[in-house]
Structure 1
Amino acid sequence: MTAEVLPTARWQYCGEPDERRKAVLVQFSNGKLQNPGNMRFTLYHNDSENPRKKNQRILAAETDRLSYVGNNFGTGALKCNTLCRHFVGILNKTSGQMEVYDAELFNMQPLFEDESVESVPTLESQTKSFREKMDSCIEAFGTTKQKRSLNSRRMNKVGSESLNLAVAKAAENIIDTKGVDALVSDAIQDDLQDISLYLPPCHEDATKPEDVYKFEDILSPAEYEALKIPSEAFRKVTSEEILKMIEDSRHSTFVIEALKALPSNEESRDRQARCIWFLDTLLRFRTQKVIKKKSILGPGIPHIVTSKLLKQFTCLSYNNGSLQNLISNSMKAKITAYVVILALHINNFQIDLTVLQRDLKLNKKRMIEIAKAMRLKISKSKSPLVDSMEEEHRLGTLSIPLPPAYSLEHQSKRKKVT
Structure 2
Amino acid sequence: MSSDKKRKRSSTVLPDIKITTAPTTDTPPIVATSHGITLPPTLPLTPYTRTTTTSTKKSRKSEHLLHGSTQRIDYEGRELPEDSDYHRYYVGIFDPATNTVELHAAPKLHFSRTIKAHAERDREIDGKGIVLNNQDSRAALGRQFGTKKAQKALLSRELNKIDISDMDRSVTTSIISQVEENTKDMPTSAQLGTQQLDLRPIPPANKDATRPEDVYNLDDIIPKDEWSVLWVREWEKGAGSNEDVKSSTKSRFVATRVAKLLAAAAATGRSGGAALTRSLKLLKYIGYMIEFYLFQVQSRGRLPSMAKTKKALGLDQVLVEGLYRRFAETTMSGEGGEARWAVSPSLSNKLLYYLAVLCLMADFWEVDLYELKIDLGMQMREITAAFKEVGCSVKEYSKTQYLDMKMTKAEATQHKRAVLKIPLEFPSAPRRRAAGGSRR
Query: Shorter-chain TM-score: which interval?
Result: 0.3 to 0.5
Please give the TM-score of this superposition, normalised by the length of structure 2: 0.44
Asked which structure has the greater CA Rg, the reply is 2
Please give the TM-score of this superposition, normalised by the length of structure 1: 0.46
